[in-house]
Amino acid sequence: MEIQILENAAKILENSEEFGNLIPEVRSNIVMAKKGAKTVNDVAGIPGRITTVNNKPKVFSRPDFGASSHMARLVLNIMKYDPSKRSALNLIYNEELIEICSKLGLKVSYYDRGEEPEESRKKEGGTIPWGVKSAIDRIEDVPDLIYHTGDWGKEPSIVLIGKDAVDVAKMAVCIARLFSKRFNKLDGYKVLFAPSRGSYPSKKPDVSCLFCAIARNDPNVPSKVLYNDGENMVIMNIFPYNRGHLEVVPVEHVTDLTDLNPESLKRLFIMVNKTIDLVRAVMEPAGINVGINLGEAAGASVEHLHIHVLPRFEMESGFMETVSNTRVIEESIDETYSKYMKNIELLNK
């Protein structure tokens, strides 16, 4: 499984021309460990690392276990503090990259090789466990990014850390795009589009009630309906706050919870619980937001009762609005819809 995930991650990086700007002189490697990994042979990486050809990322070898030493040992040490964080990717050191990552809401920490105790310096491979512990102790948490500014004969470095190699690769690509915008001074970095963003609708349809139109299968209203039992339906939000964003909606046009009788209210929230199960099974999020906005002042954009079920991820590119007023959804709606439909029996149980 880790090999396939790494192959997908490598393709994501190769397909990003901007990522070539983040590859250091020592080259990049992306690694992912097995669950419960104990040795470097339990960690897969890219033999020969990720290099550049004409400044574009290039991977020449298929991922394999035991293909990395330095990055594998870093992940193994991270897993001692958080076993779920099994992937890492090293990048070129640049202060602007660190600033971008901080603004994205990533947990950033560092270690200073000048502070390394003599006993770890003398011990073969001793710097990594000391450096990881130092970075974790500094913020009292496991970071999403660790950097150091180098030492005599040692190149400074940035390492992205995450649970999954694909998520780490996607975050690296988003960071690379922001860095490229800033580096090239192309209109700052006010707008950032993920590759699939062009397939998203540009504006909401002109109908009196969006959800009523979806319930009656209006052909002029784009929708992704996962389930409809005649009383409640589960749909994908096609203007999502984050990937996998679902909504549970009464088929009848109601505007408030008080419009529903106790039995209807009970069945609505049973469907919310089932939808949460579906999101957890398919998206494997770090957390879930469940929310109801009643009235325009509370954030409701449609006057028809609906309940948001929103997966949240520790390394989600959805922090872009903090610096650019732009959401980045790195997976197409069709891809996510297909994943949900393969597990749709969870809504029928």
- 3-state SS string over the chain? CHHHHHHHHHHHHHCCHHHHHHCCCCCECEEEECCCCCCHHHEEECCCCEEEECCEEEECCCCEECCCCHHHHHHHHHHCCCCCCCEEEEECCCHHHHHHHHHCCCCEEECCHHHCCHHHHHCCCCHHHHHHHHHHHHHCCCCCEEEECCECCECCEEEEEECCHHHHHHHHHHHHHHHHHHHCCCCCCCCCCCCCHHHCCCCCCCCCCHHHHHHCCCCCCCCCEEEECCCEEEEECCCCCCCCCEEEEECCCCCCHHHCCHHHHHHHHHHHHHHHHHHHHHHCCCEEEEECCCCHHHCCCCCCCCEEEEEECCCCHHHHHHHHCCCCCCCCHHHHHHHHHCCCHHHHC
Is 306 an active-site residue? yes
Cβ burial, residue 336 (10 Å; 0-12/13-18/19+): buried
Identify the residue whose tokens are 């330095």.
70
Q: Which of 70, 148, 306, 308 is catalytic?
A: 306
Which are the catalytic amino acids? 306
